[in-house]
Structure 1
């Protein structure tokens, strides 16, 4: 029987590449996300040729939509073996004293509460099965401060800590919980000027491709990674190792 992975934010960026990676490895994939009709249709069209994939509309900031998406996934595929919590937002890139508190709250609601809500619903299933892996996507901003928004830092710092707390509670039931902390990734959140700045802060002299994060998520979900639990793995091409100093030497 094929294993099942649920991927939030699976219609674009890191989430799309994560869905693709698992499909290529023979998993059945449930995508829980919101997006435009065109983006959803294009993503599912590309992914469906690789294997068994289903889309369930889910705004992860809404606890009831999280509950329903998990229920629909189990009805469709029978269970959930891996949860990849990828969906998230950056929030407005403005100075803190000029920031809209409503935008900060929205960023925290999506990035942190969305992660907690999905983990709780999927955790119930995994605890009952006494097996499973939950991988939350955090950020370097969960460990070190840079120029991103206050809401983003707060939410990703929260993701780091709830990952540790969840791992402590769920590990007795055979469930691993960990997170990955990407550096700057080439997604729609990154514009050209930011990409040029960020390229100098990674050891390869470029920002990270979404596929590289997806590959890390997949590797960490394998049984061979069974000793990695409660940890945040820095998938940042060295960014945090030299704390933002220009690390690329041509």
Structure 2
């Protein structure tokens, strides 16, 4: 059985009235089932474009893209509907996909309970903190039982302290649920602390510049504790050197 995600010689060109833009060029990347990948690169290099191709929102202009599983997409904002309570927001994906079976509803209630939100299920989004809202957004994504999670800077709207806490929580949830995850982020520390591998992209047009397998010697691993590992600063410095100085 091959990788759960395979991108071979992928290129993407945007066409507009003003001309053609090459956004991604001859990109090769594979992801194994259960792996957590972080993708970093210069601003505007095409990180989110790659996620859009994986999600089926943009077809590649050239190359071979294979996905062996169902996709769940978690965006920068939680996009919770303010007129629906937390439980109904968590059920929204199932509702749209016409999968509101008793079994799936029970699974959502289990996730809300498992991740500390059951007592808030009748609350509305404006009554929750930013971190709690992101947990609801993740549960909404997990409810449809995706094999692969695409995470497009899902913590970027949070303040720094909350971001650290929520990335730690969500990283642990993804590991516990044994999901394959691909995270796009500008935060090098976040990328290292969450991932099995960090993929560094070039300037636009994006292609893979360097891949860093992450091996950290820390007991009782969590993303937060990963930052205390002696190797952490070495990975940070190495990845920083690979990035454009203006990132």
Give me the TM-score of the superposition, normalised by structure 2: 0.30
Give me the TM-score of the superposition, normalised by structure 1: 0.30
Larger Rg: 2
The structure carrying a bigger strand percent of its residues is 2
The structure carrying a bigger helix percent of its residues is 1
